[in-house]
Amino acid sequence: MKIAFFDTKSYWKEFFEPMAKEYGYEITFFNERLTAETAKLAAGHDATCSFVNDEVPAEAIRELHDLGVKVLLLRCAGFDSVDLAVAKECGMPVLRVPAYSPESVAEQGAALLLAVNRKTHLAYERSTKFNFDIAGLEGICLHGRTAGVIGTGKIGQCMINILKGIGMNIIAYDAFPNPNLGLEYVELDELYARSDVITIHCPLMPSTQHMINREAISKMKDGVIFINVARGLLADSEALAEGVESGKIRGIGMDVCEVEHQYFFEDRSNLTEHDPTLARLLSNENVLLSGHLAFLTEEALTAMARVTLDNLKAFEEGKELVNEVK
């Protein structure tokens, strides 16, 4: 089996290349993102392997199908980049990695929470200049405060365990509550009103896009901290900017953003113009953005490579495709 691997970075090659040899698979690494324009690069391959910033619309899928590609591999959990209806029409299974060290993602969320609350990034900037004045770096003690967790899947559960370790009280919302977790599930309006910290761990779907908007923020407790290590489009960026500028939101920690397709995984410091809303957020010292690196641990990268290649092996051998996106 030959794999056309798109949006290659050094860390992907480091973990995928040696493991592919174990499976007897051949990988061609392309620096280009997978799009309708670059799909032609997959000629002569049996599968493509793409990530969150690749784009696999109808035109790309039909091009890949015509080139003989048989299966679409996603080395991530999110699948909103793929036109699933057209993939099904073309008989091309879409196989994802539903869980790759959920602890790693949750730990990044916790790191952002602690940093934006205690203004670690600002303290670091001052100390590098030998400025040890701590005025203006006040935070809040999280112990005894209430954390509202939206989405209680694997990553949400890991986040809950971390927040419990800090000593926070947990309330949760999920469209499909899990009665086995022993959590206090509440409706979103109650979660907004009671939470000192809100952390979101939902998949991106039409029903969840911009679920954090002006109306939702207006219902939140004054001084709330918002954390998003899920998908950028879950939150309206303009509403977040307004919220943090007005002081309604104490701080924002994000590993994702709405326009990350234009920026993430590349050095964009040479650009003279930037998305105005993203620039507005980044200019605020109470906003901390990391560039979609919650997955970037040895454990997660190993799991992503292993599950991706296991998915291909199952397809090749005609076995049950347990990780197929239906």
Which tens digit of pLDDT belongs to each residue from 287-314? 999 999 999 999 999 999 999 999 999 9
Please state, for a pLDDT cut of 90, what percent of the chain lies above it: 95
Distance in angstroms (rounded) separating the CA atoms of residues 320 and 217: 43
CA 134, chain centre distance (Å): 33
Q: Catalytic pick from 45, 55, 260, 280?
A: 260
Same structural domain for residues 248 and 182?
yes
Residue 118 annotated as catalytic? no
pLDDT average, residue stretch 10-31: 97
- On whether both 111 and 225 belong to a single domain, the answer is yes
pLDDT band, residue 237 (cuts 50/70/90): very high
Residue 26 lies in a domain: yes
Whole-prediction pTM value? Answer: 0.91
Contact, 145 vs 89, CB < 8 A?
no
DSSP 176: S
Tokens representing residue 167 in the block: 């000593």
Same domain, 17 and 141: no
| β strands within the chain, DSSP E | 2-5, 26-29, 47-50, 71-74, 94-95, 146-150, 169-173, 197-200, 224-228, 249-254, 287-289
Measured over the CA atoms of residue 184, residue 185, residue 186 and residue 191, the dihedral's sign is positive
Rounded CA gap, 291 and 34, in Å?
19
Model pLDDT, residue 4: 98
How confident is the prediction for the chain on average, in pLDDT? 97
Q: How many CB atoms lie within 10 A of CB 316?
A: 16
Domain-located, residue 262: yes
In a shared domain, residues 268 and 131: yes
68 domain-assigned: yes
326 domain-assigned: no
Pair 107, 49 in one domain: no
Q: Is residue 56 part of a domain?
A: yes
Is-contact 112 254, C-beta < 8 A? yes
Distance CA 73, CA 85 (A): 16
- Domains in the chain, number: 2
Domain shared by 43 and 176, yes or no: no
* DSSP designation for 318: T
Catalytic residue among 45, 75, 96, 292: 292
Determine, yes or no, domain membership for 323: no
Which 3 state secondary structure label does DSSP give 192?
A: helix
Residue 78 has pLDDT above 90, yes or no: no
Which distant-in-sequence residues (6+ apart) come within 8 Å of 58 by Cβ? 83, 86
pLDDT at 99: 84
Q: Please report, for the domain that includes residue 222, its CATH number.
A: 3.40.50.720
**Residues 14 and 124 grouped into a single domain:** no
322 found inside a domain: no
Same domain, 221 and 265: yes
In a domain, 223, yes or no: yes
Which pLDDT tens digit goes with each residue over 251-291?
A: 999 999 999 989 999 999 999 999 999 999 999 999 999 99
Which residues have C-beta within 8 Å of that of residue 211, sequence separation ≥ 6? 150, 202, 234, 235
One domain, residues 280 and 146: yes
Q: Among residues 231, 250, 258, 280, which one is catalytic?
A: 231
pLDDT recorded at residue 118: 98
Closest residue by Cα to residue 254 from 214, 216, 291: 291
**Is the same domain home to 29 and 56?**
yes
Verify that 147 and 281 share a domain, yes or no: yes
State the Cα–Cα distance between residues 227 and 162, nearest whole angstrom: 14
Does 180 have pLDDT greater than 90?
yes
Residues 53 and 122 placed together within one structural domain of the fold: no
Q: Are strands 71-74 and 47-50 parallel, antiparallel or unpaired?
A: parallel
Taking 90 as the threshold, does the pLDDT of residue 147 lie above it? yes
* Distance between CA atoms of residues 206 and 142, nearest Å: 33
- Per-residue pLDDT of 94-103, as tens digits, reads 999 998 899 9
User: Which range of residues forms the domain containing residue 21?
Assistant: 2-100+297-316
231 labelled catalytic: yes
- The tens digit of pLDDT for each residue in 202-230 reads 989 899 999 999 999 999 999 999 999 99
pLDDT of residue 225: 98
Cβ pair 49, 81 in contact under 8 A: no
pLDDT-derived band of residue 174, with 50, 70 and 90 as boundaries? Answer: very high
| Cα distance between residue 219 and residue 194, in whole Å | 10
